[in-house]
Structure 1
Amino acid sequence: MSVSLQARLDRPEAQSIAVALSGGGDSVALLHMLREAGHQVQAVTVDHGLRAESADEAAMVGGWCRDWGVPHQVLRWEDHPKTGNLMDAARRARRDLIHDWTLAQGLSTVVLGHTADDQAETLLMGLTRAAGIDGLCGLRPSWQQGAVTWARPMLRLTRDELRDWLSSHGLPWVEDPSNSNDRFLRARTRKLLAGLAPLGLTPARLAESAAHLARARQALDAAVLEAATRVCDERAGALHLDPGAFAALPEEIARRLAQAMILWLSGADYPPRAADLARFIAAVQDGRAATLAGCRLKNSWLTVEPRHADLRRWRLTGQGEAALLGAEGLRQLENWRGCGLPRHVLELTPALWQGDRLIAAPCAGFGLASAECAPSFKAWLLSH
């Protein structure tokens, strides 16, 4: 490996690593660069089954790995949705399959072969949507999903540099035909990017701009975290808001905080539409009731709506059958008002039952049990 590429490869801390290996030039180069750097690697390929050739390509990649002495596994996605965004569903399925496989192998780090070109394409696609800073700061270098760390070590390397490196080492790769299919926005953006180079808008230069914007987003995230400590108080899986303090926030910090609260409570992958979020923000500032994305604002308390309440948000310990406290559980608690929580918040907390008899309601201080909402809002903010 040349010194220049070695210096710009952000090597993971873990010694043993899972490599998401599609067989394309980027992931093949990443696999071998990490091996040269002394890492122990295992490769995993997801066959989405969306093209007739995909199974043969996955088998070919498996043959390469046998020749290289690299452990390799093919994971197949078979639960294709009949409606909706197929490409988005495929991306989610790939992530979940690799996550579960990584844990099963006793590994904690997965690396992906995205490059500076992917960063540049992502920035340009964001511009087509008139995206704000979140949509223009590119792909995340790393993030956490449960016990698995995902990382993109090659965001400072270009696709052409990697192809040259592969050719100099006599290593094979396969090109995904979707990369040149004009049906897909990324393929059209890739062709546009080639025409921007004479203006100095190279993949490396655009990726550098995305990195600057990412640092600006980090500053905004820090401001949101600080604002959250003054504006909202997490209790019993809900958020108690100070409308006056919220109204005093700068507009962008208020928007980001409101969006974060909704995403934390709802568990949604995508934020609400801008117009809907703006109406919700106005309701918070005015101290009015509102609902948005399965969440309910009432008397300055923000909770999930009862029909969206989910015990999986909670770590509950104790003996008994777990279920929400609900109105029936509240009727069996004589002194529930002493816990300081309103009825509509307490009813959505976990409880332990023996048949129809309530035996523990941790958030109300009743019975031998404990309950913790995980992750907490602060922990969620730090990880997103």
Structure 2
Amino acid sequence: MSDESARRLREALASHAVVLLAVSGGPDSMALLHLAAEWRDADPNAPVFHAATVDHGLRPEAASEAATVAEWSQALGVIHKTLVWKGEKPVTGLQARARDARYALLAAHMRDIGATALVTAHHADDQWETMMIRLARGSGVAGLAGMSRDQPFPGGRLVRPLLNLPKAVLVEHCCARGQKFFDDPSNADPRFARSQWRALAAPLHRLGLTCERAAKLSERAEKSDRALEWAAARFLEDAQIPTESDVYDFSQARDAPVAIIEYFLQLALTRMSGAPASRLERVERLAARLKTALRTETELSATLGGCAVSLTRDRRLKFALEPPRKRGR
């Protein structure tokens, strides 16, 4: 593994005093664990590293594997904790629910140990799969940016410093250090979308859809995404009516590109409700309706992301939280 990878790890985490490493026991996360331990051994100012393994309770051998990861972590001088996903498991959408449960457990453990960063070992092959899945779903620019190297996370930041490295390099890193690792059988389970894309990787790479080109697409999409968000944020601040909460002067939006209105809606809804906006398709539909209402000088009422949105004749765009819905008995 190159010195560049170690440098990126240090740059990404230099501002954090306590860091939690998500270590599943696969070659990627074990390589991450070794990188962190090597940094700590060489630099007295390195963060304090903790490791955690999530036992999803989906395979009978998961508990013993987590115990082995604990031994590997302790051999490197890294404090380890096994986090268990308890309760009944869903029949459908298992991977998505498992991911949500995993991050919730890790966020809680971050609070317990005072960590301000969660580090995962997502690599270039993972990024390629993510982008292929999103491309197949018709994702927008934000989706094609793929996984971020550093993003907000409950209690701190979620950092992925190994996104530029192919999995083969991480496997080689472990082998060079005599580090054993586990191969998760779910990675080859054809029921899951990632496994299906993984099976298609080799022929698609030959056609030019390589990890390197996907990474370049990701970088370019991320630049465009940030530019659109920056422009929408400026528009939002300029349109905000100081004397009224969550009300905007939308008269200048008639000539605005529809993409700016879409980003504006997502920012305004997030500011209003504290949660990300709903599906992109719904945001796009509302943005198109707003453009039509502006052009035809008509009023508009809609709901989106738990908010009521209304455009008045005087071109005021208002947002309000929807009242709780009454459930029938």
Q: TM-score, normalised by structure 2?
A: 0.84
Instruction: Return the offset for 1:162.
Output: 0.8
Instruction: Return the offset for 1:222.
Output: 0.7
Instruction: Return the offset for 1:153.
Output: 0.7
- Structure 1 residue 259 corresponds to structure 2 residue 271: no
Q: Which moved more, 1:188-197 or 1:216-225?
A: 188-197
Could you tell me which residue of structure 1 aligns to residue 318 of structure 2? 301
Rounded to whole Å, the distance in 1 between the matches of 2:211 and 2:28 is 15
Could you tell me which residue of structure 1 aligns to residue 20 of structure 2? 18
Cα 1:109–1:235 change in 2 (3 A) is farther
The percentage of aligned residue pairs carrying the same residue is 31
The answer to whether the 8 A contact 2:53-2:66 is kept is yes
Could you tell me which residue of structure 1 aligns to residue 299 of structure 2? 287
Cα 1:106–1:76 change in 2 (3 A) is same
- Structure 1 residue 164 corresponds to structure 2 residue 172: yes
Instruction: Return the offset for 1:230.
Output: 2.2
Greater relative contact order (CA < 8 Å, ≥ 6 in sequence): 2
The answer to whether the 8 A contact 1:120-1:210 is kept is no
Cα 1:4–1:107 change in 2 (3 A) is closer
Rounded to whole Å, the distance in 1 between the matches of 2:75 and 2:282 is 55
Rounded to whole Å, the distance in 1 between the matches of 2:279 and 2:272 is 13
Could you tell me which residue of structure 2 aligns to residue 87 of structure 1? 95
What amino acid sits opposite 1:148 in the alignment?
Answer: G
Cα 1:232–1:249 change in 2 (3 A) is farther
**What CA deviation, in whole Å up to 9, does each residue of 1:153-175 have, x standing for no partner?**
11111111111111111111111
The match for 1:239 among 239, 242, 246 is 246
Aligned length: 307
Could you tell me which residue of structure 2 aligns to residue 375 of structure 1? none
- Structure 1 residue 101 corresponds to structure 2 residue 103: no
1:345-360 mapped onto 2 (5 Å cutoff):
none
Cα 1:83–1:180 change in 2 (3 A) is closer
Instruction: Return the offset for 1:181.
Output: 1.1
Rounded to whole Å, the distance in 2 between the matches of 1:259 and 1:190 is 32
The answer to whether the 8 A contact 2:17-2:116 is kept is no
Instruction: Return the offset for 1:98.
Output: 0.9
- Structure 1 residue 153 corresponds to structure 2 residue 161: yes
Q: Which moved more, 1:174-183 or 1:243-252?
A: 243-252
Instruction: Return the offset for 1:259.
Output: 2.7
1:120-269 mapped onto 2 (5 Å cutoff):
120-233=128-241, 238-269=245-276
Instruction: Return the offset for 1:225.
Output: 0.7
What amino acid sits opposite 2:128 in the alignment?
Answer: A
Secondary structure of the equivalent of 2:111? helix
The answer to whether the 8 A contact 2:17-2:115 is kept is no
What amino acid sits opposite 1:141 in the alignment?
Answer: R
- Over the aligned positions, Cα root-mean-square deviation in angstroms equals 2.4
**What CA deviation, in whole Å up to 9, does each residue of 1:96-142 have, x standing for no partner?**
21112112112211111001111111111111112121121110111
What amino acid sits opposite 2:269 in the alignment?
Answer: I
Cα 1:71–1:190 change in 2 (3 A) is same
Rounded to whole Å, the distance in 2 between the matches of 1:130 and 1:28 is 34
Secondary structure of the equivalent of 1:307? coil
The answer to whether the 8 A contact 2:266-2:283 is kept is no
What amino acid sits opposite 1:261 in the alignment?
Answer: A
Instruction: Return the offset for 1:7.
Output: 4.7
The answer to whether the 8 A contact 1:232-1:241 is kept is yes
Instruction: Return the offset for 1:11.
Output: 3.9
Secondary structure of the equivalent of 1:37? helix
- Structure 1 residue 27 corresponds to structure 2 residue 29: yes
The answer to whether the 8 A contact 2:266-2:276 is kept is no
Rounded to whole Å, the distance in 1 between the matches of 2:229 and 2:251 is 21
Cα 1:296–1:2 change in 2 (3 A) is closer
Could you tell me which residue of structure 2 aligns to residue 368 of structure 1? none
Instruction: Return the offset for 1:233.
Output: 3.8
Cα 1:230–1:81 change in 2 (3 A) is farther
Cα 1:156–1:273 change in 2 (3 A) is closer
